């Protein structure tokens, strides 16, 4: 086996549920990880297309790090908090006091929950608002089918907090389960085991047994059908674009097999793709088990399938190990860009891989001329800015992907 990002990744993945030892300070979170860590989230949410909101509760299972601590601090942005309950160590539920501070820029509003004792679980009843930065709500006319609304999330980098009160930092990891209810003719999918979503009935259960950072929690809902491409891969898409997507991306299993041989076995079970409406601002998002893909890469000639190689590569670099703060996104994306190109070389040959290297290098040089000098460094000084908004501004000339 090559000594590569994988070796590094598996070593760190073994630290699930543990705050990383190196104390990089994440300026974008209010969470008090030194006191308490959420080890599991359970989401119970209704998808309300009428009011463009998610409504329900999230239950945090808590692992206390500090014997004296009695406070849980969570990140939120544009959430309405109804009430907070907590379960004491003897199993009884109580009401908890909480305060929601005024919103402060992109960081959002600090939610402080005080317990009388160290709680086992905390349950927060809330709803998102239509302007949630991490959710896109599309009316039927904005979709391929024109018949059903569509909703999807984009949590990276700091947008999970706009639809879940959570310790929204890449320095923590949590497993999750979810019950998602939708109108009966809508299918919901998540970055989790989607096998329950194969039956379309408006009531969906999800399980993500591997600990992930909150920026990888993802949801989509719409007029989605699915088609298997191989024993391990399927596509979820609106029916109008399903067959074309399957034809375009039917090398996905070959990509997985080649990457397994190079970097060790794929760790996440299935690898499915969710085709989003064309308005998705990124080319793709590496949500684990279910990459989100813009249909603009369905070119008809597989000329843009390096996007799939890239998002798949994140299953090794990025989703097994990631940056502790968003200032070091280059660690995540740098290894991934390398693995992406290795996959393309193995599946499509050296000539194509070298051509893509040349195109990417030319694109990078062009971008560097348009970016302020301080933002051309690998370690970015964000100074309160939202990393993803910065990247979207930098990627105006070509399909960009993260």
**CB 270 to Zn ion: min, Å:** 20
Work out whether 402 is an interface residue with Zn ion (CB under 5 A): yes
Of 98 and 215, which has the nearer Cβ to Zn ion? 215
Of 128 and 259, which has the nearer Cβ to Zn ion? 259
**CB 401 to Zn ion: min, Å:** 6
Nearest to Zn ion by Cβ — which residue? Answer: 402
Of 98 and 402, which has the nearer Cβ to Zn ion? 402
Of 143 and 336, which has the nearer Cβ to Zn ion? 336
Of 249 and 335, which has the nearer Cβ to Zn ion? 335
- What would the 3-class secondary structure string for the chain be? CCCCHHHHHHHHHCCCCCCCCCCCCCCCCCCCCCCEEEEEEEEEEEEECCCCEEEEEEEEEEEECCCCCCEEEEEECCEEEEEEEEECCCCCEEECEEEECCCEHHHEEEEEEECCCCCCEEEEEEEECCCCCCEEEECHHHCCCCCCCEEEECCCCCCHHHCCCECCCCCCCEEEEEEEECCCCCEEEECCECHHHHCCCCEEEEEEEEEECHHHCCEEEECCEEEECCCCCEEEECHHHHHHHHHHCCCHHHHHHHHHHHHCCCCCCCCEEEECCCCCCCCEECCCCEEEECHHHCCCCCCCCHHHHHHHHCCCCCCCCCCCCHHHHHHHHHHHHHHHHHHHHHHHCHHHHHHHHHHHHHHHHHHHCCCCHHHHCCCCCCCCCCHHHHHHHHCCCCCCCC
**CB proximity list for 279: less than 8 A, separation 6 or greater:** 136, 138, 142
**CB 271 to Zn ion: min, Å:** 15
From residue 139 to residue 168, the character string flagging contacts with Zn ion as x (rule: CB under 5 A) and all else as - is ------------------------------
Of 53 and 156, which has the nearer Cβ to Zn ion? 156
Of 291 and 336, which has the nearer Cβ to Zn ion? 336
Of 224 and 297, which has the nearer Cβ to Zn ion? 297
**CB 12 to Zn ion: min, Å:** 18
From residue 317 to residue 346, the character string flagging contacts with Zn ion as x (rule: CB under 5 A) and all else as - is ----------------x--x----------
Contact predicate 398/349, CB 8 Å: no
**CB 313 to Zn ion: min, Å:** 8
**CB 397 to Zn ion: min, Å:** 18
**CB 326 to Zn ion: min, Å:** 13
**CB 333 to Zn ion: min, Å:** 5
Of 5 and 54, which has the nearer Cβ to Zn ion? 5
Judged by CB under 5 A, the number of residues near Zn ion is: 3
List the one residue out of 168, 165, 200 whose CA is nearest residue 184: 200
Residue 114's beta-bridge partner residues? 71, 97
**CB 339 to Zn ion: min, Å:** 10
List the one residue out of 118, 212, 101, 198 whose CA is nearest residue 167: 212
The binding site for Zn ion (CB under 5 A) comprises 333, 336, 402
């Amino acid at each position: 086996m090559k000594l590569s990002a994988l070796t590094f990744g598996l070593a760190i993945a073994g630290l699930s549920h543990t705050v990383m030892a190196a104390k990089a300070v994440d300026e974008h979170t209010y969470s008090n990880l030194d006191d308490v860590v959420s080890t599991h989230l359970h989401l119970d949410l209704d998808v309300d297309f009428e009011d463009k909101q998610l409504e329900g509760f999230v239950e945090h299972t808590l692992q206390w790090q500090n014997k004296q601590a009695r406070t849980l601090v969570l990140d939120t942005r544009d959430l309405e908090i109804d009430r907070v309950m907590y379960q004491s160590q003897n199993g009884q539920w109580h009401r908890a006091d909480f305060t929601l501070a005024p919103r402060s820029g992109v960081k959002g509003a600090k939610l402080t929950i005080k317990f009388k004792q160290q709680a086992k679980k905390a349950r927060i009843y809330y709803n998102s608002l239509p302007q949630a930065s991490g959710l896109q709500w599309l009316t039927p006319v904005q979709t391929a089918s024109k018949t059903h609304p569509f909703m999807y999330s984009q949590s990276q980098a700091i947008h999970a907090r706009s639809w879940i009160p959570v310790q929204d930092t890449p320095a923590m990891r949590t497993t999750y389960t979810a019950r998602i209810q939708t109108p009966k003719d809508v299918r919901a999918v998540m970055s989790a085991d989607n096998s329950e979503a194969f039956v379309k009935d408006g009531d969906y259960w999800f399980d993500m047994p591997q600990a992930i950072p909150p920026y990888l929690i993802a949801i989509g809902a719409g007029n989605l059908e699915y088609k298997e491409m191989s024993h391990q891969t399927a596509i979820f898409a609106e029916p109008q674009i399903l067959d074309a997507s399957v034809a375009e991306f039917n090398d996905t299993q070959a990509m997985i097999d080649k990457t397994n041989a190079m970097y060790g076995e794929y760790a996440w079970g299935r690898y499915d793709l969710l085709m989003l409406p064309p308005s998705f601002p990124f080319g793709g998002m590496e949500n684990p088990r279910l990459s989100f893909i813009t249909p603009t890469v369905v070119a008809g000639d597989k000329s843009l399938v390096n996007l799939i190689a890239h998002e798949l590569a994140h299953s090794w670099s990025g989703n097994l190990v990631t940056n502790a703060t968003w200032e070091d996104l280059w660690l995540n994306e740098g290894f991934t860009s390398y693995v992406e190109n290795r996959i393309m070389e193995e599946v499509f040959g050296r000539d194509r891989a070298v051509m893509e290297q040349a195109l990417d290098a030319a694109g990078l040089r062009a971008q560097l001329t348009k970016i302020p000098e301080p933002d051309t460094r690998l370690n970015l000084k964000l100074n309160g800015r939202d990393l993803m908004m910065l990247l979207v501004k930098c990627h105006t000339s070509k399909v960009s992907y993260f």
